[in-house]
Structure 1
């Protein structure tokens, strides 16, 4: 490395955000595994099973159920798409790079000759792109003479940017991709999920980092991330934690909402935390820092490959239809209690209302009102 690169590394190591990740995130992860160990230990003593078995997807009039996977260009998204294709789903890949999506689609078809895959180029940080996807997706269903419904939506797309970026719609890039995009996509596709002739499900991929958030203020400025863009030093670690807690609160509130509207609703909602997985999410970090982080996690036995980490996502996706409003962690169909703050129902309702208001604003600004 040259002098400039060493300077950047030194500056990164001296930042508050680096130590927040190194200390709080590690403690949050260790606590999650400790909680899992304690729960498993007590369950063993009581001879009860602390996990949910997987169920195979049902066919619809001899046709494959449809699964949409966001962030499917690499890492967990690509691994989940491959695995769910083997389970019998017609997998719809969603991501920003059409070239990478095409490669993943080809890989899936190579692994299984009868795999059914379709790719759509979508930027989850853009409401306009999400709305265009809905229109193109419904047109594709019509052209293929397929039932106008979705059986499984996996909100997996996520980024960890080290610099402040603002989308064309004025939102912080991390918040827009990790939370606002997932909320908008789910809200737009909810009628298709409810229209499914078999039980359908939303799986939101969250993170143990949500435990590092001790309090939060709900308003449109914080949800959109606008309040962070004016900071002298961009608090990217805090923004990431916040986005994952929002996604978790949203999962629990959506679970309550669909059950409240219709007691016999067939739509279930599950949050899932795959733990630490070796992906390219730290691509904006100095290379030596990301390598050190992976080395340390591997040394502690906490680092997983995408193929290992995807097990928790599959547990959530293939859990029995009656399982809803829970937090999967650790694989083998195991669930945990998330942070106490994530179960604050008033906070979740406030988030729902503020997110719905932001949704309407983005809808009006984009000119898509129908």
Structure 2
């Protein structure tokens, strides 16, 4: 496991490297979808800390949290230009609306950081677009944004700058999925949905890394971090989870570690990576078990494209 002190040292070194291309006229652009709390928020702070001229886009539903974060980013680095975008990322149309704004405002993107999500005990809950809300926010809307913004991320890579996409979720939980019910309209459970969107994220990371070899694609697990993600659980479950907090990482330290894989370390600059919070690679085991085959990659991505079309058709109605 790479120690926190080694991570901090490497992050500080990367700041000196970023100076070579980050200027007032060529800022380093970071997008944090799900950046109003927890890991996304603290990784945005690290991005501002180590980047001389950062342009940061924060995406979330809580405008008050967005305002607070923008103010803190400015105190961390007065050169920061930060924007809050209020969007409900359980909806594909909202992912498209946000992407359109970025495409109009930016010429490149150096980091697309995706950490949207929530925990709940309720069963399948469809959005107005016909997708389960947890599957939408943990997979479909994330990769809709990726698909939309890839031209800008490619531009950063072509400039020989850092260009990475990080999806924060649960690598290591991949497994067999229901090929006859990929969106789990008929076989939904918390276990099934977790397995599906975890598997789908890893498949997408491997597929897109092959198509865009100059970009780094990561599916990264956070480990146990002191965030407020269990806020919607009943009190007795939150109470039972308290002992785990003894082993939890501070959000600030998690932000440093995620900046390390997002921009700091050269190890993840290109290729596909599925890693734990301690940077242990999990991809080899998934490949060995047959969870990341080219056939699965294409089947799931074709399904994903069909879901995008169906969701937008319902939105247009």
- Interval of TM-score (by shorter of Structure 1 and Structure 2): 0.7 to 0.9
What is the CA–CA distance in structure 2 between the aligned matches of 1:203 and 1:112, rounded to whole Å?
Answer: 23
Q: Which residue of 1 aligns with 2:96?
A: 131
Q: Deviations over 1:342-369 (max 9, x none)?
A: 433322221112112222333444459x
Q: How does 1:30-109 map to 2 (within 5 A)?
A: 55-56=14-15, 57=18, 58-59=21-22, 62-88=25-51, 89-109=54-74
Q: Deviations over 1:60-83 (max 9, x none)?
A: 674311110011111111111111
* 1:186 to 1:304, Cα distance in 2 relative to 1, 3 A: same
SS in 2 for 1:63: coil
TM-score computed with the length of structure 2 as normaliser: 0.83
Report deviation, 1:204. 1.2
What is the CA–CA distance in structure 2 between the aligned matches of 1:102 and 1:267, rounded to whole Å?
Answer: 31
* 1:350 aligned onto 2:304: no
Q: Deviations over 1:239-283 (max 9, x none)?
A: 234322211221111111223xxxxxx322122111111212212
Bigger Rg over Cα: 1
Give the conservation status (yes or no) of the 8 Å contact 1:276–1:309.
Answer: no
* 1:280 to 1:191, Cα distance in 2 relative to 1, 3 A: same
What is the CA–CA distance in structure 2 between the aligned matches of 1:330 and 1:174, rounded to whole Å?
Answer: 22
What is the CA–CA distance in structure 1 between the aligned matches of 2:88 and 2:261, rounded to whole Å?
Answer: 25
Q: Which residue of 1 aligns with 2:176?
A: 215
Match of 1:274 among 222, 226, 236: 222
Give the conservation status (yes or no) of the 8 Å contact 1:206–1:272.
Answer: yes
Q: How does 1:245-256 map to 2 (within 5 A)?
A: 245-256=199-210
TM-score computed with the length of structure 1 as normaliser: 0.72
Give the conservation status (yes or no) of the 8 Å contact 1:218–1:347.
Answer: no
Give the conservation status (yes or no) of the 8 Å contact 2:119–2:233.
Answer: no
> How many aligned positions are there?
295
Task: Quote the RMSD (CA, aligned, Å).
Answer: 2.7
Report deviation, 1:170. 0.7
Q: Which residue of 2 aligns with 1:310?
A: 255
Report deviation, 1:111. 3.1
Match of 1:337 among 264, 282, 295: 282
* 1:285 aligned onto 2:233: yes
What is the CA–CA distance in structure 2 between the aligned matches of 1:257 and 1:359, rounded to whole Å?
Answer: 20
Give the conservation status (yes or no) of the 8 Å contact 1:160–1:236.
Answer: no
